[in-house]
Chain A
Amino acid sequence: MAAGGGGVADPLSPAGVPCAFSPLNQAYFALASADGQLRVWETANNRLHQEYVPSAHLSGTCTCLAWAPARLQAKESPQRKKRKSEAIETSNQIDLLALGTAVGSILLYSTVKGELHSKLISGGHDNKVNCIQWHQDNGCLYSCSDDKHIVEWNTQTCKVKCKWKGDNSSVSSLCISPDGKMLLSAGRTIKLWVLETKEIYRHFTGHATPVSSLIFTTIRPPNESQPFDGITGLYFLSGAVHDRLLNVWQVRSENKEKNAVMSFTVTDEPVYIDLTLSENKEEPVKLAVVCRDGQVHLFEHILNGYCKKPLTSNCTIQIATPGKGKKSTPKPIPILAAGFCSDKMSLLLVYGNWFQPIIERVALNSKEPHVCLVRDISNCWAPKVETAITKVRTPVMNSEAKVLVPGLPGHHAAIKPAPPQTEEVESKRRLGENEISIEERLGALDIDTKKEKDDLPQTNSFPVLLTQGLESNDFEMLNKVLQTRNLNLIKRTVLRMPLHAVIPLLQELTKRLQGHPNSAVLMVQWLKCVLTVHASYLSTLPDLVPQLGTLYQLMESRVKTFQKLSHLHGKLILLITQVTASEKTKAMTCPAQKAKLVYEEESSEEESDDEIAEKDSDDNWDGDEEEKESEKDEDVDEENEEEEEDAEEKDEENGEEDRDVASEKELNGDSDLDPENESEEE
Chain B
Amino acid sequence: MVEEESVRVVRCGGSELNFRRAVFSADSKYIFCVSGDFVKVHSTATEECVHILQGHRNLVTGIQLNPNNHLQLYSCSFDGTIKLWDYIDGILIKTFIVGHKLHAIFTLACAEDSVFVIINKEKPDVFQLVSVKLPKSSSQEIEAKELSFVLDYINQSPKCIAFGNEGEYVAAVRDFYLSVYFFKKKTTSRFTLSSSKNKKHAKNNFTCVACHPKEDCIATGHKDGKIRLWRNFDDGKKYTYTCLHWHHDMVMDLAFSVTGTSLLSGGRESVLVEWRDATEKNKEFLPRLGATIEHISVSPAGDLFCTSHSDNKIIIIHRNLEASAVIQGLVKDSSISTGLMIDPRTKALVLNGKPGHLQFYSLQHDKQLYNLDIIQQEYINDYGLIQIELTKAAFGCYGNWLATVEKRQEKETELDLQMKLWMYNKKTQGFVLNTKINMPHEDHITAVCFCNAEKFENPTLVTASKDGHFKVWILTDDSDIYKKAVGWTCDFVGSYHKYQATNCCFSEDGSLLAVSFEEIVTIWDSETWELKCTFCQRAGNIRHLCFGRLTCSKYLLGATENGILCCWNLLSCALEWSAKLNIRVMEPDPHSENIAAISQSSVGSDLFVFKPSEPRPLYIQKNISREEVQWGVFVLRDVPESFTSEAYQWLNRSQFYFLTKSQSLLTFSTKSPEEKLTPTSKQLLAEESLPTTPFYFILGKHREQQDEKTNEALESERVQLPLTENIPAISELLHTPAHVLPSASFLCSKFVNSLLLSKETKSEEIPEDVDMEEEKESDDSDEENDFTEKTQDTNDTDLGEDIIHQLSKSEEKELRKFRKVDYSWLTVL
Contact = CB atoms under 8 A, between A and B. Distances in A.
A118 B438 contact: no
A92 B48 contact: yes
Contacts of B791: 162-165, 198
Contacts of B43: 112-114
A628 interface: no
Contact of B46 (A91, A96, A113): A113
A113 B346 CA distance: 27
A87 B639 contact: yes
Interface in B774-807: 783, 786-787, 789-791, 793-797, 800, 804
Contact of A112 (B48, B476, B641): B48
A81 interface: yes
Nearest to B357: A392
A400 interface: yes
B687 interface: yes
B638 A342 contact: yes
Contacts of A379: 428
A95 B488 contact: no
Interface stretch (A284-292, A408-416, A455-463, A482-490): A408-416
Given A88-B638, A139-B686, A402 B434 contact: yes
A110 B679 CA distance: 14
A156 B430 contact: no
B433 A398 contact: yes
Nearest to B316: A389
Interface string B40-73: 0001011011100000000000000000000000
Nearest to A123: B804
Interface in A52-93: 55, 68, 71-72, 74-76, 81, 84-93
B135 interface: no
Given A50-B45, A111-B46, A374-B427, A158 B683 contact: no
B682 A72 contact: yes
A375 B426 contact: yes
A84 B671 CA distance: 12
Interface string B19-30: 000000000010
B369 A44 contact: yes
B376 interface: yes
Interface string B456-494: 000000000000000110001010000101011111110
Contacts of B485: 400, 402
Contacts of A89: 366, 669, 671, 676, 678
A310 interface: no
B46 A50 contact: yes
A395 interface: yes
Nearest to B45: A114
A433 interface: no
A165 B793 CA distance: 9
A322 B485 CA distance: 17
Given A88-B638, A110-B684, A342-B639, A398 B432 contact: yes
Given A85-B671, A117-B684, A398-B433, A111 B48 contact: yes
A412 B490 contact: yes
A402 B435 contact: yes
B757 interface: no
Contacts of A158: 686-687, 689
Interface residues of B, number: 100
A44 B2 contact: no
A527 interface: no
A76 B795 CA distance: 37
B632 to A, nearest CB: 18
A197 B790 contact: yes
A71 B374 CA distance: 39
A395 B430 contact: yes
Given A112-B50, A198-B791, A396-B430, A156 B438 contact: no
Interface in A127-178: 139, 155-159, 161-165
Given A44-B369, A375-B429, A113 B29 contact: yes
Contacts, number: 269
Interface string B424-446: 01111111111111111000000
Contact of B794 (A44, A92, A93, A164): A164
A116 interface: yes
Contacts of B48: 92, 111-114
B681 interface: yes
Contacts of B786: 161-162
A116 B426 contact: no
Interface string A352-377: 00000010110000000000011110
A93 to B, nearest CB: 6
Contact of A391 (B368, B431, B471, B483): B368
A401 B290 contact: no
B693 interface: yes
Interface string B693-706: 10000000000000
Contacts of B793: 164, 198-200
A412 B493 contact: yes
Given A112-B46, A121-B691, A379-B428, A156 B478 contact: no
A379 B430 CA distance: 12
Given A198-B790, A398-B432, A392 B369 contact: no
A580 interface: no
Contacts of B118: none
A226 interface: no
B429 A71 contact: no
Contacts of B685: 68, 71, 74-75, 96, 139, 155-156
Given A45-B360, A117-B688, A162 B790 contact: yes
B348 interface: yes
Interface stretch (B94-102, B323-331, B384-392): B323-331
B290 A390 contact: yes
A311 interface: no
Interface in B346-395: 346, 348, 354, 357, 360, 362, 364-374, 376
A281 B638 CA distance: 21
B435 A84 contact: no
B714 to A, nearest CB: 23
Nearest to B424: A395
Nearest to A402: B487
B637 A75 contact: no
Nearest to B322: A389
Nearest to B398: A363
Given A44-B346, A72-B681, A389-B325, A85 B439 contact: no
B684 A95 contact: yes
A108 B641 contact: no
A535 B290 CA distance: 58
Given A44-B346, A395-B433, A404-B438, A118 B690 contact: yes
B370 A96 contact: no
A393 B438 contact: no
A615 interface: no
A163 B373 CA distance: 56
A400 B483 contact: yes
B639 A413 contact: no
B490 A411 contact: yes
Contact of B688 (A93, A114, A118, A159): A118
A119 interface: yes
A396 B433 contact: yes
B523 to A, nearest CB: 19
Nearest to A138: B685
Nearest to A360: B429
Contact of A113 (B45, B370, B689): B45
Contact of B689 (A119, A164, A406): A119
A405 interface: yes
6 contacts: A88-B655, A91-B365, A96-B685, A114-B48, A155-B685, A398-B433
Given A198-B791, A402-B434, A403-B437, 7 more contacts: A45-B360, A71-B678, A92-B49, A156-B685, A341-B638, A401-B433, A405-B439
The 10 A-B pairs with the shortest beta carbon distances in the complex, nearest first, are: A410-B489, A114-B45, A402-B487, A395-B431, A114-B46, A198-B790, A45-B369, A155-B686, A165-B794, A376-B427
